[in-house]
Amino acid sequence: MNEIDLSGQVAVVTGGAQGLGLAIARRIAGSGASVCLWDVNEAQLARAASDIGPAAAAQVVDITDAEAVMAALAATEARLGPVSILVNSAGIAGPNHTLDEYPLADWRRVIDINLHGTFHVNRAVVPGFKARNYGRIVNIASIAGKEGNPNASAYSASKAAVIGMTKSLGKELAGYDIAVNCITPAAARTPIFDQMKQEHIDYMLSKIPRGRFLEVDEAAAMVAWLVSKENSFTTAAVFDLSGGRATY
């Protein structure tokens, strides 16, 4: 593993109880940062923090609730100190349906978690980052946000919006030592697969020239650099982990 120096940093990783979020939190902690895992699943959250060790703390929070996000940030900073890194990995796939048959309640839930939740956590940390003239944000989007996956219109739309929001915020903060970027991974075998039909999983695999799914540690390696001080120039950018699928 390459050494990325994050010593003295305090990170928040949403969706940190499992999947990509947990892998990223483990890599960040292994690079010397203190990390607070944010998630709605209290039992999984406690296990994840225990698995990482003393560098990890846990905070139960629903990122769709803007006031709860602000309270979680205050609690995290009271415990660990000023947050300097945010990785927003919380998200859901939603069910697979054609757009004309997509259940309205499911559409709203996917957008609420994937887009509104990302907005809430970005909005919460930015004032502190600006005041201290330092911060690193990575939002987890998806290759589906670039190309669109059939029978996944809510997920594809939400991740396209995350890409656009990341680019906008990165430009707004370009005059500070604050980097705001996102990654667009291809699918990885995480619990999010439990929300998908097998034919949709097979479709995603068929689109990846590498012929395999992303490994969570591969995503964590890219994010570790993006949230480091070495990433002092790149902002408002999109980094692909699509195994060759991306066409732009």
* Residues acting as catalytic residues: 155
Is the Cβ–Cβ distance between 121 and 70 less than 8 Å?
no
> DSSP readout, 33-100?
-EEEEEES-HHHHHHHHHHH-TTEEEEE--TT-HHHHHHHHHHHHHHH----EEEE--------B-GG
Dihedral in degrees, nearest 10, Cα atoms 165, 177, 237, 52 = -90
Is the Cβ–Cβ distance between 198 and 232 less than 8 Å?
no
Dihedral in degrees, nearest 10, Cα atoms 168, 174, 178, 180 = 30
Nearest to 122 by CA among 136, 132, 107: 136
The number of C-alpha atoms within 13 Å of 145 and in the hemisphere containing its C-beta is: 25
